């Protein structure tokens, strides 16, 4: 898969949430995807979903960290 295809895959995942987010939140997350792609790091569906949850105020950064720690068995 090429760099552009992987970036587009991340952006396609974000488009699912377009109507759930404010315009500002949507473009902030889109910018994160672009910035990560520049570093050859591409966001997966789970990561994008977590960014959307945070943007919507459904979860705080600390709560997200605790979820990750629990998932990886380090909490």
pLDDT in tens, 21-49: 999 999 999 999 999 999 999 999 999 99
Task: Kindly indicate the confidence band of residue 75, based on its pLDDT and cuts at 50, 70 and 90.
Answer: low
Give the chain's domain count: 1
Domain that holds residue 60: 3-71
> CA-CA distances (angstroms) from residue 72 to 4, 21, 65?
31, 29, 11
Mean pLDDT (the chain) is 94
pLDDT in tens, 53-67: 999 999 999 999 999
User: Is pLDDT of 16 > 80?
Assistant: yes
pTM value is 0.86
Residue 68's H or E segment, with its range, is helix 61-71
């Amino acid at each position: 898969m090429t760099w552009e295809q992987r970036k587009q895959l991340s952006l396609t995942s974000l488009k699912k949430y377009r109507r759930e987010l404010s315009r500002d939140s949507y473009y902030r997350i889109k910018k994160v995807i672009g910035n990560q792609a520049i570093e050859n790091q591409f966001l997966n569906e789970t990561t994008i979903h977590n960014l959307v949850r945070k943007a919507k105020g459904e979860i705080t950064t600390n709560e997200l960290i605790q979820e990750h720690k629990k998932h990886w068995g380090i909490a």
